[in-house]
Structure 1
Amino acid sequence: MALSSLLFLAAAASAPAAVPPGVTATPPAAPVVVLAAKDQRALLASADRKLAANKRLVFDMYRIVLQAGDTDRAHEFIATDYIQHNPNAAQGLAGLIAYVKATRPVRPVLDHLEIPMIHIMAEGDYVTIAFARPETDAAGQRYVTTWFDLFRIAHGRIAEHWDPMLRSDRKIDPNKQKLP
């Protein structure tokens, strides 16, 4: 390939993407307002008793362990050999307890979640819970994104957990994240 062709390809690769004719490039739209569930307990209902029990287990674990920081009760909800896919927390029940103790204070146990829960759903042995997650960007602008946690239930305990946490993410106390 000729040098002029290589230079053209390099320039084209580094150039900003062209906007198709008739389309105007605009900054991201204003953030969509995210509404938390008005009745969290209604979301726990299910015609299937197993699914309702699984949702209740996750909801109560969130309230008692993750929100209130009551690690003395973690064994009621979490399996001893708990598998953790969050790269910032160690494996097992002991790993979860250490993570909670390092990221949040002990608070009173409430009958609801203070972080803005959008939805909780269950299918088989899995429960997914979604939250609105208020954040601040590098320019100091507030915005709201979404956080998801997925749990696998086995023998009446949470046996496995997934979330979108990255190793590079800062440690946060999600309970401090309130909608504006």
Structure 2
Amino acid sequence: MVTAVPALYSVLDNIPNFLGELEQGMLEHGLSPSIGAMDHLCYRAQDNNEYLMLRDTLAQCGDVLVEGMIGQRPIITFKLHHPLPSAFGPIPCLELAAPKMGKQHTHGLEHGEIVVASLQQLLQDYPWVPFKRDALHSEAPELSLALGRYQVKFHCQSLADIIALEIANKQVIPVPENYFE
């Protein structure tokens, strides 16, 4: 697995363990990793310096789809030159999030997102799974499942498709030029 994306694994060396924990956690809840395509992973930077370092380094592993302000902090998404192989199928994108000002959080790989045909069908098919439903009726509906220190989120549209729509509709909020000063 490591030979397929050596540059990425040299930067984020715990990807195999992270994916293994997501797979195991889903299996423990009766969910197959093949339930839908995992379209991206999210890494949360410890601080702005780590964000800037990883942003520059990850640019060697993929093409930038967008960088913008989301939740009052920069987030950049890369379409990887070589999708990550996994039990969830090839993962084409990686999201890098800067920390939110004034918030404490764990840095590192945080979640993976899976695209499914219907969130309602997912709830019907797996009524025993303790999905978090807070964002089920939001503008960007999702379900999430806590798996120890990580989580899996479920959406009906890939991140790359959402980004393309946001760009087309001029909804991307640019990162202020002086944000990192």
Give the number of the structure whose alpha-carbon radius of gyration is greater.
1
Q: Which is strand-richer, 1 or 2?
A: 2
TM-score by length of 1: 0.27
TM-score, length-scaled by structure 2: 0.26
